[in-house]
Chains A and B, each alone.
Chain A
């Protein structure tokens, strides 16, 4: 009998095209997702060398990073550089014959929301994209990770990547979550514990009762931020929740192929006794709604805590904490719930799915946002937007004073006009609180959609449990 394997081992083994003596492998890529920012130079490289896209049918492109989220964008994008990038993607998609969802298509949205929604992402696949949050697709039990533009060109030309295998890491969330605690709180709590380099060199498999209980939307939120934990990828073994989500989607297998696929997918789990190089266990009951206070996603604290002092840390983190407190304009000892908020952003590949919008709407329903607050909801795709409108969720946000936008990455990375002004402070459902991430000198506090909604109503960081 062969040695017990992890889920990662199984997917890896199924995709090795060739292996050199030193362990360097050529890994086959099943799905390649492409967006406008990290691909122009790769397509240019193909043209310069006279190469073609090897598998256009496995390549899917959508503009998301640059696109405005306001009406009229189908006909005109004001920012010239953004427009050129989007037009370059239009042209490249056409010239190379790849699958494409332009802004005029209701299925357009953030690449990591569109892939699963359209059934491109399936269990056991290898999925790459020139974007670090490709980790999202790991929620399906697919090995998914971000790559640079040189690797984008490599995959376009060869449908493979040159890779060495990472180590196996297990993150187990036992038991049940308490009310008001969400997938976002899980993933932030893990990074708070292990640090932004805690997963470096590893692929994380998330498991345990609390993970099993999550919907696909929640699982995508957890895996999305595996990259902030430093991991190459995050994975969750597929189960009935996964199969129910995938079944019937546009590009999911049908009929006899569905049955064959399902048979294989059901073998995609970590065998008893398989070896993990690193194991982290957190009790679900111990996780509180969390927020970030600093400028690294590892700067995580429960909402009930106070702003830390630099001397609470050791090593290089002391200086980093000093710099972060200065940048964020915070004082050690200050209660997190006393931090006033100017802007609320609900959206992104982390939290721009229908379940995220439902959770936020639940808190907002029948109430108004704080006077002077700028609050926006940016659905992750045109289809999420449409569904939210059908369910009456859009109207709840609009009635409360939120801006209801078109789909895109928006203020998560602020490449389009949705940006923070200097010193503006934002409760954001996105994934990074780096300096300048949401706008020059802008200040970001990462939270769950429900926590963001609560802050929009009160005007300060708020424990959502007090509003439930």
Chain B
């Protein structure tokens, strides 16, 4: 996995609440057996009409947001399905950070596994970042994972919380499976013990 340290980029505002995984990547695109190439289909039904023409009103189709790397979103972003195609599509589009008041649990975890940083902030701070994102391409934010800080285009600094293990993995681009396999003897011990206490499993 690529390391995540600091991102300075355009933030796009998506104030709609409950943006679900079916919106982020409609089911038609789940039939792939690859992880890549989904960016062009991110938000497909909001982004294009049935003929494949871009909807000019959709935020990521607007000239100033086409290269957005940060999304500032409404409450409960990523609710719905466990499909990792949702973070795959966003990452492939170029999104690296998503800010909201809350995220659905599975989407939140899936994001970290793909080198993306979801950030939870209180409503007032999300509102402030949303207003900054509304300014368009001239408003570039900086997200610094090491310092756990977001700096807005006018220099306002907002601190954020992040799970320390997840932070460590992002900063170093670590592969979870490799880390877990270092504990393989503990897994083996658990299985040996469990074979005695719960042999029916």
Bound-complex Cα distance A193 to B18 (A): 16
The verdict on B128 contacting chain A, using a C-beta distance below 8 Å, is no
CA distance A273 to B151 in the complex (A): 46
Q: Which of A244-267 contact B (CB under 8 A)?
A: 252-253, 257-258, 260-261, 264
Which A296-315 residues sit within 8 Å CB-CB of chain B?
296, 298, 315
**CB atoms of B31 and A37 under 8 A apart:** yes
Q: Any chain A CB within 8 A of the CB of B132?
A: no
How many residue pairs bridge A and B at CB < 8 Å?
184
Number of interface residues of B (CB under 8 A): 56
Within 8 A of A (CB), among B10-65: 15-18, 20, 22-23, 26-28, 30-35, 45, 50
Main secondary structure of the interface of A (DSSP, over half): loop
With A157-B181, A197-B75: A81-B106 Cβ-Cβ less than 8 Å? no
Flag if B22 contacts A436 (CB, 8 Å): yes
Residues A200 and B76 in contact in the complex (CB < 8 Å), given A28-B190, A316-B15: yes
Residues of chain B contacted by A81 (CB below 8 angstroms) = 31-32
Pair B80/A20 contact, Cβ less than 8 Å: no
**Which A residues are in CB contact (< 8 Å) with B186?**
17-18, 26
Which of B109-117, B140-148, B153-161 forms part of the interface with chain A?
B109-117
List the B side residues contacting A435 at CB < 8 Å. 20, 22-23, 45
Nearest-Cβ distance from residue A80 to partner chain B, whole angstroms: 9
Chain B window 128-144, contacts with chain A (Cβ cutoff 8 Å), 1 for yes, 0 for no? 00000000000000000
Residues of A within 8 A of B (CB): 14, 17-18, 20, 22, 24, 26, 28, 30, 37-38, 40-41, 44, 49, 51, 54, 58, 65-66, 79, 81-82, 84-85, 88, 122, 124-125, 130-132, 134, 145-151, 153-154, 157-160, 162, 164, 196-197, 200-201, 230-232, 252-253, 257-258, 260-261, 264, 296, 298, 315-317, 319-320, 323, 413-415, 432, 434-437, 440
Interface on B for A, CB 8 Å cutoff? Answer: 15-18, 20, 22-23, 26-28, 30-35, 45, 50, 74-76, 79-84, 87, 102-106, 109-110, 113-114, 163-165, 176-177, 179-181, 183-184, 186-187, 190-191, 194, 198-201
